[in-house]
Amino acid sequence: MNSETSQADVLVIGSGAAGLTAALSLARDKKVLVLAKGHLRSGSTAWAQGGIAAVLDTGDTFENHVRDTMVAGAGLNDRETVEFVIERAPAAIDRLCELGVPFNRESGDLHLTREGGHSHRRIVHVDDATGWAVQAALLKAAEENPNITLLPDRTCVELITGKHEAKYSASGRVWGAYALNTETGRVEAHTARATVMAAGGAGRVYQFSTAPRGATGDGIAMAWRAGARVSNMEMMQFHPTCLYNLEVKNFLITEAVRGEGGHLLHPETGHRFMTDYDETRMELAPRDVVARAIDDQIKRFGLDYVHLDISHKPREFVMEHFPTIYEKLIGLGIDMTKEPIPVVPAQHYTCGGILIDLDGQTDLPGLWAAGECTESGLHGANRLASNSLLECFVFGEAAARNIGELWDSFAEPPSIREWDESRVSDSDEEVVIKQNWTEIRRFMWNYVGIVRTTKRLERAANRIALLQEEVDDYYGSFRVTTDLIELRNLLQSAELIVTSALRRHESRGLHYILDYPEIDEAMIDTVLVP
């Protein structure tokens, strides 16, 4: 072994809610290495606002939460998975309380807020910055655990499989990952008996997204290239209310603003337009319905944005519930206690991903996955608000448990070939990367957005095929950088999304296509096989 290789019992790729939950559970008796791209808080987890859904109120039931999840998911959810996750939510919240997450309380009990698609108040939260508190508590516990090593600034490039063994093997067994150390510029080999992929979503494939810069679908693309199936990639969720501001591009205004009484208004007439789209649920209809309504208003009336207004509520109430958003907006000259907030929809969550079972197992021996990079069957055609952090906790734990159960059957990792850089040089045309990043994100927004047509999807597919040649050529010729790795993964994710969208000949949940406006009787997942 040299300084550019390491061996752990288990390798975890990602330091968000899913990765750290798995690591903490595994670290009871295993040595765990956690790799993260950039810093350890760089994923979506730290950005989560609204909270975590769990049945904790005596007037609520698991069955209510299951029904709400499946209504939001337009029935495409896997009922067994939905029950599996929802029944484990109270225990997941208990574990977070033990780790010291300071959830809001009222007379000693956890305070529950409400979000779209939920028939009851069931969202536990830390003001309007839940993710930051959850990420901090998980990281603190991981940093204090002697069995966990955290390595930031490592951009995983590829999973290590049989073909990377010193003695080539055709087996798809995963033995860890190659990762670019962005401090040294060298690619390291990190091997392990088991690998957990928890690298988050692919939101940045769209021009407008609430997701952080690193959400480039790396985990999905790496697993796909290694031979794992992916499912329902056409189900990209758009959040209805991202701040519209020329300087601040991707600041989310939590759904809890609508949950606590905020109204959506036409910015010129003041009309509460959700009355025209969903008279019963209004602003608290599931996200796909509200995002499409806003998109329709913007396109129909040639607007830049619509208004989200909670200024009719008492000032103290707004400031107490939404301190982070209030501060951010005041800094931009908007006082949400007195005036409406300009908002637009933006990509927010990747519902599809690497296919996993209830143990977090993927198709590939040696590879488990959890969190936003997966398709577990929980979300179906549209994720119910605040169900995703929950999914991270439940599947992070499930994967760890399953690895523990199977541990004695795992072999030691074999000897692995070093990363081959003999045929590449330093890039002299970084502009190609920037140009292609921008191009992909723009055509994905324009052609593969909230409302789709077959023609636009085909245009996107043609663009992707052209770019693929260029990016493959570039990847084969130059030393890898994080930008290049991300570009390759963005393009791979775009291809998976467009291929899946072209396969679904119906409009269901987040996939709304004008050529097939009806919902199909048959409920079929779009499963792509490498």
Binding region for ligand SIN (CB under 6 A): 49-50, 254-256, 385-386, 388
Q: Which is nearer to ligand SIN, 113 or 436 (CB)?
A: 113
392 binds, among ligand FAD, ligand SIN, none (CB under 5 to 8 A by kind): ligand FAD
Helix-helix angle 454-477:482-503, to 10 degrees: 150
User: What is d(CA 20, CA 149) in angstroms, rounded to the nearest whole number?
Assistant: 11
Q: How many CB atoms sit inside 10 A of residue 300's CB?
A: 9
37 binds, among ligand FAD, ligand SIN, none (CB under 5 to 8 A by kind): ligand FAD
Residue of minimal Cβ distance to ligand SIN? 50
| Cβ(27)–Cβ(148) below 8 Å | yes
Q: Which is nearer to ligand SIN, 7 or 237 (CB)?
A: 237
User: Closest separation between CB of residue 383 and ligand SIN, Å?
Assistant: 7
Kindly state the tokens that stand for 448.
């593969």
User: Closest separation between CB of residue 198 and ligand FAD, Å?
Assistant: 5
Q: Within 13 Å and on the Cβ side, how many CA atoms surround 214?
A: 26
User: Closest separation between CB of residue 15 and ligand FAD, Å?
Assistant: 4
Q: Which is nearer to ligand SIN, 69 or 254 (CB)?
A: 254
Contacting residues for 408 by C-beta, under 8 A, at least 6 apart: none
| Cβ(444)–Cβ(205) below 8 Å | yes
Phi and psi torsions of 388, nearest 5°: -85, -40
User: Closest separation between CB of residue 44 and ligand SIN, Å?
Assistant: 9
Q: Which is nearer to ligand SIN, 126 or 433 (CB)?
A: 126
Reduced to 3 states, what is the DSSP secondary structure of residue 325? helix
User: Closest separation between CB of residue 79 and ligand SIN, Å?
Assistant: 21
User: Closest separation between CB of residue 279 and ligand FAD, Å?
Assistant: 27
Kindly state the tokens that stand for 232.
């329902």
Q: Which is nearer to ligand FAD, 336 or 346 (CB)?
A: 346
Strand segments (E) across 351-394: 353-355, 367-369, 374-375
Helix-helix angle 430-447:482-503, to 10 degrees: 20
211 belongs to the binding site for ligand FAD (CB under 6 A): yes
Q: Which of residues 348-407 bind ligand FAD (CB under 6 A)?
A: 349, 371-372, 386-389, 392
Q: For this structure, is 79 an active site residue?
A: no
Phi and psi torsions of 295, nearest 5°: -60, -40
18 binds, among ligand SIN, ligand FAD, none (CB under 5 to 8 A by kind): ligand FAD
User: Closest separation between CB of residue 35 and ligand FAD, Å?
Assistant: 5
Per-position x/- string for 180-209, each x denoting binding to ligand FAD as judged by CB under 6 A, each - no binding? ------------------xxx---------
Q: Which of 114, 287, 452, 488 is catalytic?
A: 287
User: Closest separation between CB of residue 241 and ligand SIN, Å?
Assistant: 7
Q: Which is nearer to ligand FAD, 49 or 69 (CB)?
A: 49
DSSP letter string, 410-440: PPPP--BPPP--TT-B--S-HHHHHHHHHHH
Q: Which is nearer to ligand FAD, 201 or 267 (CB)?
A: 201
Interface stretch with ligand FAD, choices 9-17, 70-78, 279-287, 352-360 (CB under 6 A): 9-17
Q: What is the SS3 assignment for 227-253?
A: CCCEECCCCEEEEEEEECCCCCCCCEC
Given 19, 116, 259, 352, the residue binding ligand FAD (CB under 6 A): 19
Q: What is the CA radius of gyration of the chain?
A: 22
Angle 95-99-104 (CA atoms, 0-180°, nearest 5)?
85
User: What is d(CA 75, CA 86) in angstroms, rounded to the nearest whole number?
Assistant: 16
Residue among 46, 156, 84 nearest 360 (CA) = 84
Reduced to 3 states, what is the DSSP secondary structure of residue 7? strand
Kindly state the tokens that stand for 463.
């663009």
Q: Which of residues 36-55 bind ligand FAD (CB under 6 A)?
A: 36-38, 42-45, 47-52
Per-position x/- string for 410-439, each x denoting binding to ligand FAD as judged by CB under 6 A, each - no binding? ------------------------------
Q: Within 13 Å and on the Cβ side, how many CA atoms surround 295?
A: 19
The residues that are catalytic are 287
Residues within the interface to ligand FAD (CB under 6 A): 13-19, 35-38, 42-45, 47-52, 130-131, 154-156, 198-200, 210-211, 214, 218, 252, 349, 371-372, 386-389, 392
